[in-house]
Amino acid sequence: MGIPEVAKPPNLAKRGGCWFVRDALKIHLGLENEFRAARKAHPALLVEDLPALKTRIEAAGYSVHADEPLEGYDRIYVDDPFGNRIELMEPLPD
């Protein structure tokens, strides 16, 4: 998605996981011993130019999924490399 990974502070890096930062956007991913992918619960990210992002995601080898329409938004779902569901939403023009 074009969000660069940044180094975690050393005192937190020992826990594992990773951080991604671009401008004001910050996403922190942690690890769990008894991991189970979130198939229903999910974060939703507001994006710009969803069609171009969809093309990039598919070109990287990931599948995107449509869902029921949501008034005011174009949206898709993608699974992260660990199987967690992520919603990508772009507000529709008025």
Domain ranges of the chain: 1-31, 35-94
Instruction: Look at residue 79 in the predicted model and tell me its pLDDT.
Output: 92
Q: Which tokens hold the place of 34?
A: 């008894």
Cβ atoms of residues 80 and 86 within 8 Å:
yes
Going residue by residue through the chain, which has 94 residues, state the pLDDT in tens, using 9 for 90 and above. Answer: 778 999 999 999 998 889 999 998 898 988 788 888 877 888 999 999 999 999 999 999 999 999 899 999 999 999 988 888 999 999 998 8
Instruction: Look at residue 72 in the predicted model and tell me its pLDDT.
Output: 96
In order, the DSSP letters of 37-50 are --SSS--EEE-S-H
Which CATH number is 35-94's, of 3.40.309.10, 3.40.630.10, 3.10.180.10, 3.40.50.720? 3.10.180.10
Q: How far apart are CA 51 and CA 37, in angstroms?
A: 26
Instruction: Look at residue 64 in the predicted model and tell me its pLDDT.
Output: 96
Q: What is the pTM assigned to this prediction?
A: 0.77
Contacts 24+ apart (CB under 8 A), 64-71: none
